[in-house]
Amino acid sequence: MARITAKGTMLGSIDIHGTQVPPTGKAFQQDWVAVVTFDKDKISAIDEFHDNYGLLVQLGLSE
């Protein structure tokens, strides 16, 4: 298992379900958790969990 924190500023447009959303210029921080499954010494699966709703709120794209 790994915990990752991504930080940045939305300076470019993003695609949300086929709709191009222009940059907001707002900063964000998003925590991720990755659960890594191994088969002997090789990675067999990676499942990632993150809060997209919280990200959208920080970017001013949702309430």
Average pLDDT over residues 32-49: 96
13 belongs to a structural domain: yes
38 belongs to a structural domain: yes
pLDDT of res. 43: 97
CA–CA separation, 55 vs 31, rounded Å? 10
The total number of structural domains in the chain stands at 1
47 belongs to a structural domain: yes
Average pLDDT over residues 46-58: 95
Structural domain boundaries enclosing 24: 2-58
CA–CA separation, 40 vs 25, rounded Å? 44
pLDDT of res. 7: 97
42 belongs to a structural domain: yes
63 belongs to a structural domain: no
